[in-house]
């Protein structure tokens, strides 16, 4: 496992770098998963060193930008943008491109329909712990395998989509039976009423990240038909990504 203070610092820096709007302490705490007391100490240091600015309304603005050298290749960025546009045009409520950074899922990019009655809070730059065993988390854990997952994460912190804590043995039972080559989804949604479908963009040994469709888990006239449609959208998206990469763009 990584050093917790280091992980929290990196999580905060990446979160601040990805925000296009200023946020107050409560919003930053919710977005990063860091307690307000710890967060305030970290923000004070960043402000003293000139990395952030605090307004009179006590909202924080980043004065820096983080760009990773190991980020996506430009061709992959363009390809993923095109794939996400296509998924939205074909009827998904919202589509998200996610990567895992440290112990968190990180929302690299999100698109959504303009006329949604219920909007999902997660936006580009948002992050949350890998420990909620929803579709994206299960897919990632299955992809890296149980041995690496046990070495990288705190095995005592996992919980299911009903927000009930589970043992490591139970967590293994939940994610290890999944297939990383298929679309994984949460039929009934999570404790926040969000249903996600997720697919791996790439192969087990070489992938760009996770593509996810997120929607409100509300009753539908034909839920099974809808689920099959969303699965098909992501299957087609993954196939486009794989074929394009095999051709070397």
The strand ranges marked E within 21-130 are 23-24, 52-54, 59-62, 94-101, 104-112, 127-129
> CA-based angle 207:213:218, to the nearest 5?
155
Fold of 74-246: Beta-Lactamase (3.30.450)
3-state percent helix, strand, coil for the chain, nearest multiple of 5: 40, 20, 40
Average pLDDT over residues 112-122: 88
Are 105 and 137 contacting, i.e. CB atoms less than 8 angstroms apart? yes
Average pLDDT over residues 147-156: 89
Take residue 87 and report the two structure tokens written for it.
């998924």
pLDDT at 201: 96
pLDDT at 248: 61
Q: Tens digit of pLDDT for each residue in 127-149?
A: 888 999 999 999 999 999 999 99
> Buried b / exposed e across 93-104, counting CB within 10 Å, b at 16+?
bbbbbbbbbbbb
Report phi then psi at 182, rounded to 5.
Answer: -120, 170
pLDDT at 20: 65
Judged against a pLDDT cut of 90, whether residue 220 lies above it is answered with no
> CA-based angle 100:91:128, to the nearest 5?
20
Judged against a pLDDT cut of 70, whether residue 199 lies above it is answered with yes
Q: Which residue has the higher pLDDT, 74 or 18?
A: 74
pTM across the whole model: 0.74
Fold of 4-62: Arc Repressor Mutant, subunit A (1.10.10)
Q: Tens digit of pLDDT for each residue in 44-77?
A: 999 999 999 999 999 999 998 776 544 678 889 9
d(CA 107, CA 117): 22
Are 25 and 43 contacting, i.e. CB atoms less than 8 angstroms apart? yes
d(CA 167, CA 165): 7
Take residue 37 and report the two structure tokens written for it.
């007391």
Segments making up each domain of the chain, as ranges? 4-62, 74-246
pLDDT at 69: 47
Chain-centroid distance, C-alpha 42:
23
Q: Strands 206-216, 94-101: parallel, antiparallel or unpaired by DSSP?
A: antiparallel
């Amino acid at each position: 496992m990584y050093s917790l203070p280091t992980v929290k610092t990196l999580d905060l820096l990446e979160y601040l770098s990805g925000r296009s709007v200023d946020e107050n302490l409560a919003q930053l705490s919710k977005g990063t998963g860091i307690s307000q007391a710890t967060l305030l100490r970290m923000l004070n240091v960043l402000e003293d060193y000139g990395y952030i600015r605090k307004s009179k309304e006590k909202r924080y603005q980043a004065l820096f930008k983080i760009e990773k050298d190991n980020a996506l290749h430009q061709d992959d960025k363009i390809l993923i943008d095109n794939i996400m546009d296509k998924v939205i045009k074909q009827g998904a409520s919202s589509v998200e491109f996610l990567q895992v950074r440290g112990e968190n899922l990180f929302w690299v990019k999100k698109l959504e329909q303009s006329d949604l009655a219920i909007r999902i809070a997660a936006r580009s730059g948002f992050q949350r712990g890998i420990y909620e065993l929803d579709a994206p988390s299960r897919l990632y854990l299955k992809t890296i395998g149980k041995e690496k997952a046990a070495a990288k994460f705190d095995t005592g912190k996992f919980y299911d989509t009903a927000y009930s804590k589970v043992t490591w043995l139970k967590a293994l039972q939940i994610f290890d039976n999944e297939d990383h080559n298929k679309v994984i989804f949460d039929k009934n949604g999570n404790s926040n009423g969000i249903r996600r479908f997720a697919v791996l963009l790439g192969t087990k040994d070489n992938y760009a990240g996770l593509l996810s469709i997120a929607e409100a888990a509300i009753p539908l006239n034909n839920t099974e038909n809808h689920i099959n449609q969303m699965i098909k959208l992501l299957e087609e998206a993954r196939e486009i990504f794989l074929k394009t990469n095999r051709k070397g763009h």
